[in-house]
A and B are shown apart, each in its own frame.
Chain A
């Protein structure tokens, strides 16, 4: 029996990419922070290890490309939902080339790959929040209306609503899904405002989990066989207050993942992987 839109959080594969040395100096960032590449790599390795070993996903590990300092943030290069993958056109020109490797990887997984060829369109995957029932696309410095339109064309089953993102890099810089129908949201005013917009735009009901730190609201939810609800979230070291909030979640397998270095270049947890479900695809 085929069921669409089933199994939110169910993934079989993950695509990640190694951190190039150029990340330290050249990666785009909204702050002036210095990045320790080694530390960042250590974090990233741990992250990938969680996906691969702890969660048992098939991890496609793409090699780093020094010419793309931000290439570790694979999320921005593609949006995958069901068996369709939309190759984006990243808003930062320096990142456009990242999509090539991504496209090859997705095609290798036999996904239905759609490319965003419109030169007026920009879209970063970090601006795309898929709730299981619909998409929210942040209109940010990286993503424009046209990009969102193309995304809507690529995923016709779902409503695609736009949300202005003014105060942060991406929509998912302050929110993410923490479970089916559960939106984890930062407590800043812009975050709350964006949430209000999202709820207004939606036909569906969501619960919200508010965390004190916007960036901590970016977590990774999975619902895996034998593991149930899994949440990769911030560490106590990084965001102690938000960590306490996550700690209270019941019936979750909680996996704190350190992200101290990548955050300096605006990298959040979701940024570093693309999650794919091949089993459910038709």
Chain B
């Protein structure tokens, strides 16, 4: 088993370096030159097997033009003479290269979509695009980020790969998807990444032959016909003979069947779908960390020495070159423990962390389980924005096209290959040789700046970078949403494209509802009662299922998912309208200090949750947040905040009308989420809002009354959460949720996470309490909102507002510091209570929104349902301070609460950055966060919400 990253890198690094450098220079000097790219290819594609052919760029290019359906503007010239058009070379799974042009500022998603179009692939969520970074390490392209920002100065070379290996390939809907998965696995096998026995090589090879060549035919096939195919890293004559023996027995088997058999065998291999990363344990022993569908595997040499199923992991984080996992206490331990691993460098640590986040999200989050969702939410700056497996499965089930005809290209041949489109490729070993050598050479790119930034600066920088990412993501999300919202405006094509996303969103939203019924998987796990698992019927009673942490869970999850899906379906239609927001947890990495206190206190709460931390942020937010929210806002942590902030922002901006829907204590507050959503929706997409309003109007209004009473969104939020938990049944709720496109998404996600856990804890009473608290706050809020609105008016072309909330669990003694922090924030204390208040105000005001695009991103540290633990706490004080600079308005809310003997100071800052497009919002955001951190060194940033509003210009809307 070799690691794609680690192993490759280690082995090939020296050579790779050179190669890459060459590539770089080439790329730099002549980015468009197709000819040079082949050589670089290897560097770009760590993945691919050595045996890969060069393809004719022209054919590919033509192909791309033909096939690309994407709405994205195509480059008129493939020559890329235009500054803004770049030629990308993507190595396909069959080893061929595909060249296409993309706009220089295109995002990863665009390239990915184009590739999927080219490949005629609908079940795309299992796949991704990789590129090689300066270290020649394989990285997954972030769909939400610009290509340019990811590959930096490297060549525009990519590879199309399987990102998430479906544990059960039979569940894939289409043969073509399985075909691509097979191609990936063949490469995995041949490259040695997927080790297998001789017997397995034989079997897999035989199915490969059947798939590619069809029935054995002695007349047509030369005696050594099999030698041109590759089956194993070290292919022997003996192996080939065995393969032939088997091949002869497959007469009549179709290629699709052969691939199914191939996958049935491949999926059982222990390293199937395991993404390996080199690391060292705390004692400096070389180990490998394997990320897979079920969790994190620890290997020493070939031995599995430990395994942490996702449910077992409370938190994942990285700091510099360290990667940490916080483990739920086992049966024999009393406390959770944090295990640290040393990665080769910071980027490796981050890469591993990201892969973990994505895998966790993809394979676990869809399930109704709250914890996983929290996980997602927590995903800090980086989040997996695609669908989860459950979602994609559902989507797959809805594929109605006739099975596409596709030609199976010969792959991994020694001598010849064809491109996907069937064009013969002149293959030569020379190329191969070059590739390999090239791989070896290219390693270190000169790109010092970028890298340096990340590495050197530590947290601040990292955060910056990440925030950049985050910022970008939001844009994406926002844009998407907008599109949906403004369906009218958008061309049908786009709508169609997005629909998938929408449906996903819907699902996730709906899923929340799923959690309501019965035990969540998470809960089951917690209870860990053997009975939860179905023992085999035939076995005697004394046979108990072991409680595998994951395995069993997964299965049930599947069921649940299904259920969820079903539930979702009805709603789906409606839901289509709304977009998915990306919830990222952005936790600012905290020094040990902040984490210390948080960790401890939080940890208690956190036990159930899994956090993914980008940096060492503290996942702990949950407690504080939730508590804060509860006490202050009575809201569920994340979503509420986000909503509030958004709302508040919206208000500030005046762009959106805030409709505050408030439900009573009951969970039925669909309205609430709706409100938030609406707010967001309004803000983000005025057009949509209007439409939405019409539809939803009734609901909203009705709720409005209630809302008036409880101005605070927070309160509303809870109900939402409650609702979610209970079920998405009520149409109203659904409507509301739909309406609140952006917000909702977030909310729903958040809700899902926290909701589950919270549910129990949350009682109507709690909500009520919250409501009460908020009430008084409302007054203050209204004031704020006014001021905000004024500020907002300033915004014009684009406004990005950042809300950074700093959460600190401070022992009472430390409160002082919090206060001092307050002082730090310059400006006029406005007595508005909380964002919630703002929201409510906003809602009241209902300001028409002018701006088209609104993107809101929430980054949260870990959230645990604080609700469960939580007493609302007592609000000691609330304070709001506002400061302004030319382009920035900072509003700081400081809230002190006492909960269970612990005083908590929470500082929430809303920073509104106004300016034209040329302002680097990402930078500004990063700066703001940085400053916030600096101002409150003893506190930790638990949540960052980025809300971006941009005037929609045709151009912008475009990508």
Q: Whole-angstrom distance between the alpha carbons of A195 and B551 in the complex?
A: 16
Q: Which residues of B contact A5 (CB under 8 A)?
A: 268
Contacts of B330 in A (CB 8 A): 196, 200
Nearest to B294 among chain A residues (CB) is A203
Tell me which of B268, B541, B548 contacts A199 (CB under 8 A). Answer: B548
Interface presence of A133 (CB below 8 A): yes
The distance in angstroms between the C-alpha atoms of A145 and B198, with both chains bound, is 24
Quick check: is B196 within 8 A (CB to CB) of the other chain?
yes
Contact A161 B305 (CB under 8 A): yes
Question: Do A248 and B540 touch across chains, with their CB atoms under 8 A apart?
Answer: yes
**Residues of chain B within 8 A of A248, CB atoms compared:** 540-542
A residues near B261, Cβ cutoff 8 Å: 1-2
8 Å CB contacts to B: which residues of A68-127? 82-84, 112
Report if B566 contacts A (CB, 8 A): no
Given A161-B303, A182-B543: A207 and B270 within 8 A (CB)?
no
Are B543 and A207 in contact, CB atoms less than 8 angstroms apart?
yes
A196 interface neighbour in B198, B250, B331, Cβ under 8 Å: B331
In the assembled complex, which residues on chain B have CB atoms less than 8 Å from the CB atom of A202?
307, 548, 551
The answer, yes or no, to whether B283 is at the interface (CB within 8 Å) is: no
Q: Known contacts being A152-B302, A152-B303, is A158 close to B549, with CB within 8 Å?
A: no
Nearest Cβ in chain B — how far from A212, in angstroms? Answer: 11
| Number of A-B pairs, beta carbon distance below 8 Å | 143
Cross-chain contact B542 with A133 (CB below 8 angstroms): no
Residues of A261-282 contacting chain B, CB below 8 A: 281-282
Q: Complex formed: what's the CA distance from A213 to B399 in Å?
A: 55
Q: Are B540 and A250 in contact (CB under 8 A)?
A: yes
Interface string of B545-557 (1 = CB under 8 A from A): 1111111100100
B2–chain A nearest beta-carbon distance, Å: 12
Q: Name the residue of chain B whose CB is nearest to the CB of A150.
A: B302
Assembly CA distance A200 to B549 (angstroms): 7
Nearest B residue (CB) for A199: B546
Nearest A residue to B203, CB-CB: A2
Cross-interface CB contact of A84 among B195, B197, B294, cutoff 8 Å = B197
**Residue contact A112 to B198, C-beta cutoff 8 Å:** yes
Selected contact of B547 from candidates A1, A112, A183, A199, CB within 8 Å: A199
- Candidates A133, A183, A207; contact of B539 at CB < 8 Å: A207
On whether A210 and B544 interact (CB within 8 A), knowing A134-B270, A162-B305, A203-B551, the answer reads yes
Q: Interface digits, A177-207 against B, CB 8 Å rule (1 contact, 0 not)?
A: 0000011000000000101101111111111
Q: Are B303 and A201 in contact (CB under 8 A)?
A: no
Known contacts A3-B264, A4-B268, A205-B552, A153 near B302 by CB under 8 Å: yes
Complex: A207 Cα to B242 Cα, angstroms: 37
Q: Which residues of A contact B203 (CB under 8 A)?
A: 2-4, 282
**How far is B195's CA from A91's CA once the two chains are assembled, in angstroms?**
28
Cβ–Cβ < 8 Å partners of B312 in chain A? 200
How many whole Å from B555's CB to the nearest CB in chain A? 8
Question: A159 CB to closest chain B CB, in angstroms?
Answer: 4
Which residues 254-297 of B sit at the A interface, judged by CB distance below 8 A?
261, 264-265, 268-270, 292, 294
Residues of B with C-beta under 8 A to A245: 542
- Interface residue from A157, A201, A209 paired with B307 (Cβ < 8 Å): A201
Tell yes or no: A249 within 8 A of B by CB: yes
A32 contacts B by Cβ under 8 Å? no
- Give the docked Cα–Cα distance between A236 and B544 (Å): 23
A198 contact set on B, CB distance < 8 A:
546
Q: In angstroms, how far is the closest chain A Cβ from the Cβ of B234?
A: 12
B242, B330, B539, B541: residue with the most chain A Cβ atoms closer than 10 Å: B539
A33 to B302, CA, bound (A): 39
B137 within 8 A of A: no
User: In chain B, what residue has the closest Cβ to A134?
Assistant: B270
Interface string of A209-251 (1 = CB under 8 A from B): 1100000000000000000000000000000000001001111
Q: Which residues, 215 to 264 on B, are CB-close (under 8 Å) to A?
A: 242, 246, 249-250, 261, 264
Question: Provided the pairs A134-B270, A156-B196, A251-B538 are in contact, do residues A207 and B544 lie with their beta carbons within 8 angstroms?
Answer: yes
Q: Which residues of B contact A206 (CB under 8 A)?
A: 545-546, 548
Instruction: Identify A4's interface contact among B200, B541, B549, CB under 8 A.
Output: B200
Most buried by B among A112, A161, A198: A161
CB pair A84 B306 closer than 8 Å = no
Check A149 for interface membership: any CB of B closer than 8 A: yes
Does residue B536 face the partner (Cβ distance < 8 Å to A)? yes
Give the docked Cα–Cα distance between A248 and B541 (Å).
8
Known: A2-B206, A208-B543. 4 other contacts (CB 8 A): A1-B261, A4-B199, A159-B304, A205-B546
Interfacial residues, chain A to chain B (CB-CB below 8 A): 1-5, 82-84, 112, 133-134, 137, 145, 148-149, 152-153, 155-162, 182-183, 193, 195-196, 198-210, 245, 248-251, 281-282
